[in-house]
């Protein structure tokens, strides 16, 4: 009886795997044709100075709209793109678009730094440095306006290779940010070994910070660490005015999150830039940020 049940369960499970393989295969095909048809998009989410409320930069986030016009989350397709190698052309597209759009803004007099997410697979790929250099040359964007976001996982992979890549980027003048800081790697020694400019506090800490003593303690520790090591600090996932006030009073310089704006198509992001510079409201104790 037990054996039979086991076999049944196995059969059930295996057809489950079949359908998930079929689904992944389907997604992979869709991703390939989306690339060919040029239907990936890049959205931008502002990064805001916590004291002045002015926009100091933006994060580029890839978007994929399916045939029905629905956005598919990068969380759902980036892992498959990494496994299939499609992350290389997708990542190149995002970097090209981000550099090009940022150079447009700079021509209009907006000196903004663009942050681009780099997957570990992409970072460790042999063509990475060359691709970044070519993209900067083609777009005309100066390297100091480009920031690359990597995760702690990269730093644990191939230390001497990673060191070489990071130093080359730093020599070019490109900035390096550690994304989702606090969720990955526990050995903080890498912070002195690698040339890093920015820590981005993971949004999971920000979401609970007003209700959870451990989260506020972790945030305070990260802020102290960033100050001691002279790193810029960004808090991501800021959704409420209370979180923003609290982060500001802890001296977190830069905030990013739905409170200010969702990620927007380039045209809308540019409109937002114009709106907010013509009517900037100083973020006093009781005043809201813009939006």
Q: Indicate whether 78 belongs to the interface with ligand C2E (CB under 6 A).
A: yes
Q: Which is nearer to ligand C2E, 74 or 184 (CB)?
A: 74
Shortest spacing between CB 121 and ligand C2E, in angstroms: 8
Q: Indicate whether 91 belongs to the interface with ligand C2E (CB under 6 A).
A: yes
Helix, strand, coil percent content, the chain, rounded in steps of 5: 55, 20, 30
Shortest spacing between CB 254 and Mg ion, in angstroms: 13
274-283 long-range Cβ contacts below 8 angstroms, 24+ apart = 276/53, 276/54, 276/55, 277/54, 280/52, 280/53, 280/54, 281/53, 282/52, 282/53, 283/50, 283/51, 283/52, 283/53, 283/244, 283/248
3-state secondary structure of 5: helix
The angle formed by the CA atoms of residues 284, 263 and 125, to the nearest 5 degrees, is 125
Q: Which is nearer to ligand C2E, 18 or 242 (CB)?
A: 242
CA–CA separation, 60 and 57 (whole Å) = 10
Q: Which is nearer to ligand C2E, 152 or 179 (CB)?
A: 179
Q: Indicate whether 203 belongs to the interface with ligand C2E (CB under 6 A).
A: yes
Q: Which of 74, 89, 143, 153 binds ligand C2E (CB under 6 A)?
A: 74
What is the contact surface with Mg ion in residues (CB under 5 A)?
117, 149, 179-180, 236
For 284, phi then psi, to 5°, come to -70, 180
Q: Which is nearer to ligand C2E, 143 or 184 (CB)?
A: 184
Q: Indicate whether 239 belongs to the interface with ligand C2E (CB under 6 A).
A: yes
Shortest spacing between CB 45 and ligand C2E, in angstroms: 6
Q: Indicate whether 46 belongs to the interface with ligand C2E (CB under 6 A).
A: no
Helix (H) or strand (E) holding 140: none
Q: What residues from 204 to 223 belong to the interface with ligand C2E (CB under 6 A)? A: none
**One-character DSSP codes across 75-120:** HHHHHHHHHHSTHHHHHHHHHHHHHHHHHHHHHTT---EEEEE--H
Q: Which is nearer to Mg ion, 120 or 168 (CB)?
A: 120
Q: Which of 48, 55, 56, 62 binds ligand C2E (CB under 6 A)?
A: 62
Shortest spacing between CB 78 and ligand C2E, in angstroms: 5
Q: For residue 27, how many other CB atoms are within 10 A of its CB?
A: 17
Beta carbons of 90 and 81 less than 8 angstroms apart: yes
Place of tokens 């986030």: 61
Q: Which is nearer to ligand C2E, 77 or 145 (CB)?
A: 77
Shortest spacing between CB 249 and ligand C2E, in angstroms: 19
Q: Closest Cα partner for 169 from 116, 217, 220?
A: 116
- List Cα–Cα distances, 164 to 161, 188, 193, 197, in angstroms: 5, 19, 11, 16
Q: Which of 102, 119, 135, 162 binds ligand C2E (CB under 6 A)?
A: 119
Pairing mode, if any, of strands 113-117 and 146-151? parallel
String of contacts with ligand C2E for each residue 128-167, x by CB under 6 A: ---------------------x------------------
Q: Indicate whether 76 belongs to the interface with ligand C2E (CB under 6 A).
A: no
Question: What are the residues binding ligand C2E (CB under 6 A)?
Answer: 45, 61-62, 73-75, 78, 91, 94, 117-119, 149, 179-180, 203, 236-239, 257-258, 263
């Amino acid at each position: 009886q037990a054996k039979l049940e086991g076999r049944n369960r196995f059969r059930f499970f295996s057809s489950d795997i079949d359908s998930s393989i079929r689904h992944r295969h389907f997604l992979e095909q869709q991703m390939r044709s989306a690339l060919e048809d040029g239907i990936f998009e890049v959205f931008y989410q502002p990064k805001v100075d916590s004291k002045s409320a002015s926009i100091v930069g933006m994060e580029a986030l890839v978007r994929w709209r399916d045939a029905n016009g629905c956005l598919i989350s990068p969380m759902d397709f980036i892992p498959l793109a990494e496994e299939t190698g499609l992350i290389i052309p997708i990542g190149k597209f995002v970097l090209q678009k981000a550099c090009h759009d940022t150079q447009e803004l700079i021509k209009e007099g907006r000196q903004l730094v663009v942050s681009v997410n780099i997957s570990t697979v992409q970072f460790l790929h042999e063509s990475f440095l060359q691709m970044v250099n070519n993209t900067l040359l083609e777009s005309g964007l100066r390297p100091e306006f480009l920031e690359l976001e990597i995760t702690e996982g990269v730093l644990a992979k191939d230390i001497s290779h990673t060191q070489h890549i990071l130093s080359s980027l730093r020599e070019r003048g490109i900035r390096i940010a550690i994304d989702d800081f606090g969720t990955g790697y526990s050995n903080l020694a890498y912070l002195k070994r690698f040339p890093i400019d920015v820590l981005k506090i993971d949004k999971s800490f920000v979401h609970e910070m007003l209700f959870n003593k451990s989260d506020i303690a972790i945030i305070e520790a990260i802020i102290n660490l960033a100050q001691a090591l002279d790193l810029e600090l960004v808090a991501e996932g800021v959704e409420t005015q209370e979180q923003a006030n609290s982060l500001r009073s802890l001296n977190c310089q830069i905030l990013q999150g739905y409170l200010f704006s969702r990620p927007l198509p380039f045209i809308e992001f540019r409109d937002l830039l114009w709106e907010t510079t013509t009517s900037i409201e100083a973020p006093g104790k009781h005043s809201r940020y813009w939006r």
